[in-house]
Amino acid sequence: MSAHNKYRYIWNTLLRASANLRSIHSISFHKTSRRKYTVPCAMGFSLFTWLGFEKKLSAEDELIHTIKHCILFIQKNEYEKAEQLLHVALRQAQQIHHQLGITYIYDVMANLALQREELDKAKQLFIIVTQRIMANGVLEDDPRVVHLSVKLARVSHLKKDYSTAKLGYDWCLEKLYKAVEIDPTDHSKKLLAMTEDWYGRLYLECEQFEKGLKYMVHSLNRMREVPDIEKEHLVVQLNDIGTVYDRLGKAGESISYFKEAIDLGKNLDMDLGTMYVNLGRAYLKSQLLDAARKSCGHAWKLGVMSKNQDVKQEAELCIKQINNLG
CATH number at residue 270: 1.25.40.10
Any domain includes 290: yes
Signed CA dihedral, 67, 73, 79, 81: sign only: negative
What is the rounded distance in angstroms from the CA atom of residue 286 to the CA atom of residue 298? 19
Any domain includes 292: yes
pLDDT computed for residue 43 by the predictor: 43
DSSP for 235-254, written as a single string: HHHHHHHHHHHHHTT-HHHH
Which one, of 51, 153, 150, lies nearest residue 100 by Cα?
51
Which one, of 298, 271, 293, lies nearest residue 283 by Cα?
293
Any domain includes 34: no
| Total structural domains within the chain | 1
Indicate left, alpha or beta for 30 from its phi (over 0: left) and psi (-120 to 50: alpha). beta
pTM to 2 decimal places: 0.80
**Pair 314, 305: CB distance under 8 Å:** no
Helix (H) or strand (E) holding 181: helix 162-182
pLDDT computed for residue 60 by the predictor: 67
How confident is the model over 132-187, as pLDDT tens digits? 999 988 888 899 999 999 999 999 999 999 999 999 999 999 999 999 999 899 98
Any domain includes 235: yes
pLDDT computed for residue 33 by the predictor: 37
Any domain includes 189: no
Residue 228's pLDDT band, with cuts at 50, 70 and 90, is confident
What is the rounded distance in angstroms from the CA atom of residue 99 to the CA atom of residue 57? 11
The boundaries of the domain holding residue 317 are 230-326
Any domain includes 295: yes
Q: What is the mean pLDDT of residues 256-262?
A: 97
Any domain includes 236: yes
Rg (CA), the chain: 22
Cβ contacts of 291 within 8 Å, gap of 6 or more = 280, 283
Any domain includes 135: no
pLDDT, greater one: 304 or 11: 304
